[in-house]
Amino acid sequence: MKIKFYIAVVIFFTISIIIFLLVSDYSVTTSTEKALKSEPQNIEENRVGLLLGTRKVLSNGQENLYYKYRIEAAIELYNSKKIEFILVSGDNSRKEYDEPTDMQMDLIAAGIPKDKIYKDYAGFRTLDSVVRAKEIFGQRKLTIISQPFHNERAIYIAKNKGIEAVGFNARDVSSRYGAKTMIREKFARAKMVLDLLFNKSPKFLGKKVIIE
């Protein structure tokens, strides 16, 4: 009897987790789809674009296409005069690893003035990047720049934190290239829902920064 009971408990929790993953994914997708745009002419103007970070080079030494396409999207949006400033937010938890500076350097190399780029070194997670854009950099309206799946999650966070946000979609990668990322995304969305439910805060806040 005990074995049957334990099996029943495992089955129950497994089904509950699967349902939670599916509901979280569906909720994020359906509640944000109207806020995503893929063409500059179709998106509203906002003063600040939030460029979400990722590593520039993969662990195998190859170029990270997620990074490459996000940089290209930010450049396109800026040159279309749909944003005035770019807030690059990423991980700088180690001295030898600096996503924001990588992004800044590549944007400058593309002709975007340095004084139009602001760096957030504590964007360790998407939640941190979005919340810090409001709490540290004073932005209550944003254009978020990343791949569609990532924009959906970021906009969902923004809506729950009182930020008016739209997403500009960077070019996506092939399904084969991004298969592992998309699997992780399902779990990331479920974790995000829990973080919002329990009012999770960014790892760091700090001094206010004025974007001007």
Given a contact cutoff of 8 angstroms between Cβ atoms, the answer to whether 160 and 154 are in contact is no
Q: How many other C-beta atoms can be found within 10 angstroms of the C-beta atom of residue 66?
A: 24
Q: Which of 148, 142, 57, 133 is nearest to 102 (CA)?
A: 57
Q: Which of 105-114, 130-139, 198-207 has the lowest mean pLDDT?
A: 198-207
The architecture (CATH level 2) of 2-197 comes to: 3-Layer(aba) Sandwich (3.40)
Coil/strand/helix, residue 58: coil
Q: Identify the band that residue 62 occupies on the pLDDT scale cut at 50, 70 and 90.
A: very high
Residue found by looking up tokens 């590549």 in the block: 106
Q: Which residues contact 36 (CB under 8 A, 6 or more apart)?
A: 148, 151, 152, 155, 166, 167, 169
For the chain, what are the domain ranges? Answer: 2-197
Given a contact cutoff of 8 angstroms between Cβ atoms, the answer to whether 206 and 115 are in contact is no
Percent of the chain at pLDDT > 70 equals 100
What's the pLDDT tens digit per position in 25-57?
999 999 999 999 999 999 999 999 999 999 999
pTM: 0.92
